[in-house]
Structure 1
Amino acid sequence: MSEQNAHHSFNDRLARVLEKRKEKDQLRRLQVLEGIDFCSNDYLGFARSETLKHKWKEAMAASDDRLGSTGSRSISGHCEQAARLEEELAHFHGTESGLIFNSGYDANVGLFSSLPVRGDHLVTDELIHASIIDGCRLSYATRHRFNHNDVNDLEQVLQSIQKNRVPGAQVFVVVESIYSMDGDQAPLTDILSCCDKYQTLVIVDEAHATGIMGPQGRGLVSAEGLEDRVWARVHTFGKALGCHGAIVVGPKLLKEYLLNHARSFIFTTALPPHALTGIQLAYGALHEPEFSYTPLNKLIQHFKQTIQAPEGCWLLPSDSPIQSLIIPGSQRAARAGTALLKAGFAVKAIQHPSVAEGKERLRISLHLHNTTTEVDQLAAALHQFS
C-alpha cells in the first residue's frame, strides 16, 4: 500500500468513528459561549474580577520576571517564586509540603501513575474524574472500584483485597471531595473510619471544593477537620480560584518522590512566573476580610427551591455550586442545552460518554456573580422547554 493510500485508509477510519458519534448526537465541538454564565467553573468570579486583574497588572509592571519559565522545573524552569508559593500553599492547607503541577489533569496523572507500584491496590469511587482514571491506568497497581459514595461497598472491596494482600502491598483509596458531574460530597469521615481498619492511605481530589468549602476556602477535608487523617490531597487553581494549575499536598517525602518520579511534572515546561503571580493573588483574595462564600450558598438554596425539572427529568441532590439536571437521552439533553443557549443562558449539555447513558444532563454551575433574578429567568426558560 502506498503512503497516500495509507493516509486515506486511516482518515476513513477516523471519519467513520466520528460519524457514529454524530449519529448519536455525541460529537463534541468547540464553541464560544455567550450569555449569562451558568456553566463555567469560575464559582467565585475570580477569573473575571477587575480587582484581581488590576493587582496582577500592577505586579507585572513592578516585576522584572521573564515571560516564560524556559524549561522544566528540574532543568531551568525552577524559581524562588514557585518554591515560596509551594511553601505558602502547603501551610495554608495544613500539610508539610506541596508540589505545583501545570494542571489538575497533570497532577492526577503524575500522582497516580507513579505512586502505586506493582502489587499495590488502587480503590476508587466509580465516579472519579477522568484524570484519575488515566493516572491509574498508567500505573502497575491493581484497580478496584466501589459504588458511588457507598461506604458499605467500599468495605466489601477492602475486605476482599485484605484476604489476598501480600506483605508490603499498599492500598490507596481515592475519592473526590465534591464530584465534578453530580456535585455531591464524599462522606469523608465515614470513608476514613472504614479505611482505618485496613491500613489504607486515603487521597482526596479537592478540585471543586477548593475556594468554596472550609475556612477561607481550604476545602472539605479542612472543613471536617480531617487534615491529619487524609494522606494527600490535590487542590486545583482552575476552578473557584480562576487561574490554572494544581498542587499536590502531603508529606515531605511525597513531594520528593513526585519530583523524581512523576513524568507529568518532570518532562514538561513549568508554569511561567506570571501564572504563579495569578495563583498567589487568588489565594490572597481568600484571606481578604470581606471575602465570603455565604452569598453563593444562599444562591444555591434559592436555585434548588426555584428550579422545576421537566417531565421525566430530575435534579440530583447537591449543596455545591454544581447542580445537575438529569435529562435522559443525548438528543433531548442536547435540545435542552441549545434552547437555553438561544434564550441567552450559557449552559452546556453533558452527554454520553462523559456520563453514563440515561444520565445525560444539563450541568448547571452557580457563581457569586449570578443573581437570584438570573436564576429565576433560567427557571422560566427551563419551564418553557418542558
Structure 2
Amino acid sequence: MSISFPSVVTPSFQMLPVRSPELPEFARQRVERFHNERVATSWNGRHILRGAKPGANALMLQSNDYLAITRHPEIVAAQREALACAGNGAMMSGLFLQHDDDPLHVVERELALALGSEETILCQSGYVANIGLVQCLAGERTPVYIDMLAHASLWEGIKAAGAQSVPVFHNDPEYLERQILRHGPGLILVDSIYSTNGSICPLAEFATIAQRHGCIFIVDESHSLGTHGVHGEGLVASLGLNDRVHFVTASLAKAYCARAGLISCSRRFKPYFAFESMPAIFSSTLLPPELAGIDASHRVIQREGWRRARLQHVTRRVREALLELGYPVREGTEQIIALEVGTEAAVMKVRDAFEAENIFGAIFCAPATAKNRALLRLTLHAGLDDDAVNRLIGACTRLRDKIDLADWSASRRERRTVNKPQAALEVA
C-alpha cells in the first residue's frame, strides 16, 4: 500500500511571508561563494544533485537498504502497533530513562547479545553516536588516528573534542604504526567497510597495532552490521575481534532501515557516556515506533539469512562484470560500488548517461569526498533480481565507450598503481 501526500499543504491559519533580513557580510560571502563558485561555475548553473526524475521502471541504486527490508510487513506492523499503543512516547532525553525495563534498554540488551558485547547504546543517529563517542574520549592533547576515508561524523567528533587529528593513509597499517610511534597512544578510528568505495579495513592488523601501543580502537560498522556475519553481527564480531575492539559504532539507517545510531561498549562505560556525551544529553530519546522498528528489523535480519546471501551473490556478479568491462573498481569489494570520475562537472555527465539508461545512482562530491574525486555511487541490495542485474550490466556495457573511462581519476590512479613496480625496477 502506497501513502500519498498532498502536493500543496494548506494550513488552517496563514501568515503573510516576510522577507528575511540580510545576512552580515562575513556570512553573506560564504553563501554567495557557494552559488557563484559551485552552482554557477562547477555545476554550470544546475544543482549537482538534481538529475532526471525516476520513472516507474527505474533501477534505483541510491538507498542504503542493503537487505531490501524497508517495506517488510513484519517491521511495518510492529511500528504501526507501537504508534497506536504508545504514541510518540517520552519527549525527553534518554538520560532520564533509568529503569531496566524501559523499551530502550530492552532493545539495547538484545542488540548487545547479538553483537557479543557487554552493552550497547542507542542514539538518535550514527552521526550523533560517533561525534558523542569521540568527544567524550579524547582531550585536547589526545592524538586521534583516522583513516582518510573514514566517515565525516568521526572527523566531526575530533573537532568536537578539540583533539589532534592525525590522518592515516587508507587501509595502511604500517603508516598508522609509524604515526603512533611519532605522536604516542590515542584513538584509532576506521570504518569496517568504507562508504565511498566499498573497501574493507584490515581490522585484525589495526587491532594488533592498537593493542601493542595502548590505543583505543573504534570501528564504525555502519555498512557491515546486518550484511556481514552468519547472523548479520558485522565484521568485528564475525572475525572474533570483540576483545580487541573497544567500541563498535553504526548507523542503523542502513541495513536496519531505522533512523538511529548504535555504540557497543562495556557496562561501566555506558553510564559515563550518558553524562558526558553532549549529543546524547541534549537530544530527545528514540520514539516507540523507532524502537519497535529496530527490534523487528533485528529479528528479520537474524532470521532471513537468504538476504545476505543474495546481496553477496549480486555484489560478486556485478563487480566481476564491471572489472571485465574495464571499470576502475578494484579498490572495493563490497556492495558499495564507486564510479570515481573526478571533477564535479564530469561526474554529472556520467550520472546523466546512466539516468538515460534508467539507472539511478547517487553522486558523492566534496565534502563527502576529496576535491576532484567526485563519484557516482551504485548501491547494490538483496532485492535485485537477475533481470535487474542484467539490466545494470547491460547499461554499463553500452556506456563503457561513451563516458571517457580512461580519463577518470580512478582510472589514472589504477594505471599508476599497475606501472609503479615496473618504474621502480627501471630506476633500480
The TM-score with structure 1 as length reference comes to 0.89
Shift of 1:70: 1.1
* 1:214-263 CA-partner distances (Å, limit 9, x unpaired): 12111110121101110111022100111110111111122111100101
What residue is the counterpart of 1:167 in the other structure?
A: none
Does residue 384 of structure 1 match 2:405?
Answer: no
> Matched residues in 1 for 2:305 and 2:343: separation?
44
Change (3 A) 1:5 1:87: closer
CA contact (8 A) 1:112 1:135 kept: yes
The DSSP-based 3-state class of the residue aligned with 2:342 is: coil
Does residue 171 of structure 1 match 2:192?
Answer: no
- Structure 1 segment 294-373 matched on structure 2, within 5 A: 294-307=309-322, 314-373=328-387
* 1:17-53 CA-partner distances (Å, limit 9, x unpaired): 3221111129555777552221210000111323432
- Structure 1 segment 190-209 matched on structure 2, within 5 A: 190-209=205-224
What residue is the counterpart of 1:87 in the other structure?
A: 109
Does residue 67 of structure 1 match 2:72?
Answer: no
The DSSP-based 3-state class of the residue aligned with 1:215 is: coil
Unaligned runs of 5+ in 2: 1-19, 403-428
> Matched residues in 2 for 1:30 and 1:256: separation?
44
> Matched residues in 2 for 1:218 and 1:71: separation?
30
Change (3 A) 1:352 1:67: closer
User: Residue type matched to 1:149 in 2?
Assistant: N
CA contact (8 A) 2:79 2:290 kept: no
Change (3 A) 1:326 1:28: closer
Shift of 1:8: 8.0
The DSSP-based 3-state class of the residue aligned with 1:225 is: coil
What residue is the counterpart of 1:18 in the other structure?
A: 35
The DSSP-based 3-state class of the residue aligned with 1:57 is: helix
CA contact (8 A) 1:174 1:202 kept: yes
CA contact (8 A) 1:72 1:270 kept: yes
Does residue 159 of structure 1 match 2:181?
Answer: yes
Shift of 1:289: 5.7
What residue is the counterpart of 1:54 in the other structure?
A: 77
Shift of 1:10: 4.8
CA contact (8 A) 1:43 1:240 kept: yes
CA contact (8 A) 2:127 2:251 kept: no
Q: 1:276 aligned to 272, 291, 301, which one?
A: 291
**Percentage identity across paired residues of the two chains:** 24
Change (3 A) 1:335 1:75: same
> Matched residues in 1 for 2:176 and 2:244: separation?
17
- Structure 1 segment 217-228 matched on structure 2, within 5 A: 217-228=232-243
> Matched residues in 2 for 1:144 and 1:191: separation?
15
User: Residue type matched to 1:72 in 2?
Assistant: S
> Matched residues in 2 for 1:27 and 1:256: separation?
44
CA contact (8 A) 2:78 2:292 kept: no
Shift of 1:310: 7.8
Change (3 A) 1:318 1:259: same
CA contact (8 A) 1:171 1:199 kept: yes
Shift of 1:327: 1.6
CA contact (8 A) 2:323 2:330 kept: no
> Matched residues in 2 for 1:130 and 1:6: separation?
28
> Matched residues in 1 for 2:36 and 2:102: separation?
50
What is the number of equivalent residue pairs in this alignment?
Answer: 374
What residue is the counterpart of 2:14 in the other structure?
A: none
The DSSP-based 3-state class of the residue aligned with 1:307 is: helix
> Matched residues in 1 for 2:328 and 2:374: separation?
11
Change (3 A) 1:159 1:46: same
The DSSP-based 3-state class of the residue aligned with 2:299 is: helix
Change (3 A) 1:145 1:6: closer
* 1:158-214 CA-partner distances (Å, limit 9, x unpaired): 11123xxxxxxx511111100010111100111112222211111100000010111
> Matched residues in 2 for 1:356 and 1:154: separation?
20
